[in-house]
Amino acid sequence: MLGDRPVRRIGFGAMQLAGPGVFGPPRDRDAALAVLRRAVELGVDHIDTSQYYGPDVTNDLIREALHPYPDGLRLVTKVGARRDDQGAWLPALRPEELRAGVEANLRSLGVERMDLVNLRLLEGDGGPDVPLAEQLGALEDLRREGKLELIGISSVSRAQAEEALELVDIAGVQNGYSILDRTSEDVLELTRERDIAFVPFFPLGSAFTGGPAKLAADPIIARVAAKHDATPSQIALAWLLHRDERILLIPGTTSVAHLEENLAAAGVNLDADDVADLEGVTPVGNPLEGVSHDA
């Protein structure tokens, strides 16, 4: 569930549709448009994006490929960052910056209201010391104005998530999490307790640090994949779907073939032996360390 609306458990993350480093135009614009159109054809009903991917690149592609949007398609974005002329990721957490970020998403996507807006936080951003209450208050004001429906939070500790839940209604949490990176296990447990969505970004491991290749190199994942005639990436996605019913996935790709592979992971049924084996996979640590990133 996103708020009070059901969505399919595998959506699409649009970040990779921008150029290298999530900056500038895609290498193949036609391929990017084709992936978006095929995703919707296959039943994807939630797309995760942000105006600062590019910037404007992914939102412009989404609008060109899919507008007017089909009924039931949920568009999810995030605010809290911006890009400079060289593509660096900079904080944009002041209330006026968050408002501008939401307005920029509305403009670039061609909509009057966002379905969900995630407030992106990250330790060590070096940005202004803005209290979380002020940041979420700015989004709550925009919700009351009808410019967004749901508020989420992204890249948060459990303590930050608990604080946010005391301040406003939170529809979900978006943190890095995968079979290779379980540093947000405590945040996942909190979403279980509060019965809200948990959306792992980098569900196949970080795209910036060779996550899919590391999946394929793990002997346990490879063995389970062979048993199911599946790919290691499909096993990693199936493991997440099995992990908790509140988990919604947003794997991204620039390839129609990989898109179809990712969506087919919903049909991989892991048995108890598979799950027990996969618990033995050794996490590789936080894939975000040392990476200028977003999701």
φ, ψ (nearest 5 deg) of residue 5? -115, 130
Q: Are 283 and 180 in contact (CB under 8 A)?
A: yes
* Packing angle, helices 29-41 and 256-264, rounded to 10: 30
Task: State the DSSP H helix or E strand holding residue 35, giving kind and residue range, or none if neither.
Answer: helix 29-41
Q: How many CB atoms lie within 10 A of CB 166?
A: 11
* Catalytic annotation, pick one of 52, 53, 69, 177: 53
> Which residues face 226 on adjacent strands?
none
* Packing angle, helices 158-167 and 185-194, rounded to 10: 30
- Is 52 known to be catalytic? no
> Which residues face 10 on adjacent strands?
249
Dig out the tokens for 105 from the structure. Answer: 């998403």
Task: State the DSSP H helix or E strand holding residue 139, giving kind and residue range, or none if neither.
Answer: helix 132-144
Give dist(CA 57, CA 64) in Å, integer. 11
Q: Where in the sequence numbering do the catalytic residues fall?
A: 53
